[in-house]
């Protein structure tokens, strides 16, 4: 009987003892656990901060990393979960580094930057040579309300379909190779732009807008691939970007618009011959990241609207068409 009472007393004492907090700053163990998580967090933060120092000499790793740079932020909540499970103050403190760096790089994209006004709306769309319904795509583009439309990756057999579908909305249009521009305003001085490919995938034209002439470039940079044996194969894209940058630098018109599929993001250093002299409409007046590719689950914005001597007022992504890219649009203030 005494033994039973003793056992009962011990059980009562155990049951009434206060439970230990899951996480307490006075617990010395929280400063000894989670060093691996902390190290990973610091490495990720440093990679984000010094992304331009990741070398391109081996498989263009720098450009590949910069293409998907916004997605590195997903590491933070994953590591946060591990840090909480491990009850590690060290890991939580280290996580501040990648979190702060990511917010510094991309926090501005989380708030809307569009403004009112604007007098010229433009649309750019890689329509995909294998588009199963170009007529529907043309109808969608015609209904966008754009004053100027640029289309890339035009297949020869689909071109007449787009021409018919856009004819009622746009009186003027020019085609060079696999890129084309449609406009509500007269076009002149249209010519192909050599981007070192051997065939035409870029053009330049002058649009006589009500606010005065504007030089418009339409370009489709070479595709890039990720291969196990050679890494990020972007060499041809990089050479084309340099050639296009040279052409834009020589452009005599003060006001310039670039529309196209650049097969690269604004973070990719290899596009600096272009990005160093032009402003991204999405970066200046967009809402969110504006990812455009692939259309089924957009992970990167490789379709761009860029300007020089013109102020972006608003930038957005249009609904999906039959293409593997999403169309992009912007309203600009010209004048």
Instruction: Encode pLDDT of 68-123 as tens digits.
Output: 999 999 999 999 999 999 999 999 999 999 999 999 999 988 888 888 889 999 99
- What's the pLDDT at 287? 87
Render 15-30 in DSSP notation, one character per residue.
Answer: HHSPPPPSS-TT-GGG
Q: Once rounded to an integer, what is the mean pLDDT over residues 317-332?
A: 98
- What's the pLDDT at 292? 98
- What's the pLDDT at 108? 87
In this structure, the dihedral spanned by the alpha carbons of residues 38, 63, 74 and 97, taken in order and rounded to 10 degrees, is: 40
d(CA 228, CA 111): 37
Question: What are 229-246's pLDDT values in tens digits?
Answer: 555 678 899 999 999 999
The neighbour count for residue 233, using CB atoms within 10 Å, is 17
d(CA 271, CA 52): 12
Question: What are 288-308's pLDDT values in tens digits?
Answer: 999 999 999 999 999 999 999
- Coil, helix or strand for 94? helix
Domain boundaries, the chain: 2-107, 120-333
Q: Once rounded to an integer, what is the mean pLDDT over residues 144-152?
A: 98
**120-333: which CATH number, 1.10.300.10, 3.60.10.10, 3.40.50.410, 3.90.740.10?**
3.60.10.10
- Coil, helix or strand for 330? strand
Question: What is the chain's mean pLDDT, rounded?
Answer: 91
What's the token pair of residue 30?
């929280």
Distance (Å) of CA 89 to CA 6, 225, 235, 286, 316: 40, 41, 44, 37, 41
Question: What are 2-24's pLDDT values in tens digits?
Answer: 454 544 544 554 455 555 545 56
- Residue whose C-alpha is closest to residue 120's, from 295, 312, 262: 312
High-pLDDT (> 70) share of the chain, %: 90
């Amino acid at each position: 009987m005494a033994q039973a009472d003793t056992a009962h007393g011990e059980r009562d004492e155990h049951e009434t003892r206060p439970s230990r907090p899951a996480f307490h700053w006075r617990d010395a163990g929280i400063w000894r656990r989670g060093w691996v998580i902390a190290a990973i967090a610091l490495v990720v933060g440093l990679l984000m901060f010094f992304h331009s120092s990741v070398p391109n000499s081996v498989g263009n790793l720098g450009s590949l990393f910069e293409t998907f740079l916004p997605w590195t932020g997903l590491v933070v909540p994953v590591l946060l979960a591990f840090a909480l499970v491990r009850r590690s103050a060290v890991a939580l403190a280290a996580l501040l580094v990648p979190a702060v760096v990511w917010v510094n790089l991309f926090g501005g994209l989380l708030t809307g930057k569009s403004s009112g006004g604007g007098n010229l709306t433009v649309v750019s769309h890689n329509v995909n040579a294998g588009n199963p319904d170009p007529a529907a795509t043309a109808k969608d583009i015609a209904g966008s309300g754009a004053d100027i439309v640029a289309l890339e990756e035009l297949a020869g057999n689909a071109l007449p379909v787009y021409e018919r579908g856009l004819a009622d909305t746009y009186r003027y249009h020019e085609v060079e190779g696999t890129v084309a521009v449609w406009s509500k305003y007269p076009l002149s001085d249209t010519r192909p732009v050599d981007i070192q490919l051997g065939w035409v995938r870029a053009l330049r034209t002058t649009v006589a807008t009500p606010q005065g002439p504007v030089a418009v470039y339409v370009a489709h940079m070479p595709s890039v691939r990720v291969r196990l044996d050679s890494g990020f194969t972007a060499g041809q894209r990089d050479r084309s970007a340099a050639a296009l940058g040279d052409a834009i630098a020589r452009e005599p018109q003060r006001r310039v618009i670039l529309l196209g599929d650049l097969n690269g993001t604004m973070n990719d250093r290899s596009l600096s011959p272009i990005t160093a002299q032009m402003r991204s409409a999405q970066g200046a007046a967009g809402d969110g990241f504006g990812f455009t590719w692939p259309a089924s689950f957009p992970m990167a914005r490789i379709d761009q609207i860029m300007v020089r001597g013109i102020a972006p007022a608003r930038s957005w992504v249009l609904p999906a068409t039959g293409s593997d890219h999403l169309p992009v649009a912007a309203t600009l203030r010209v004048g």
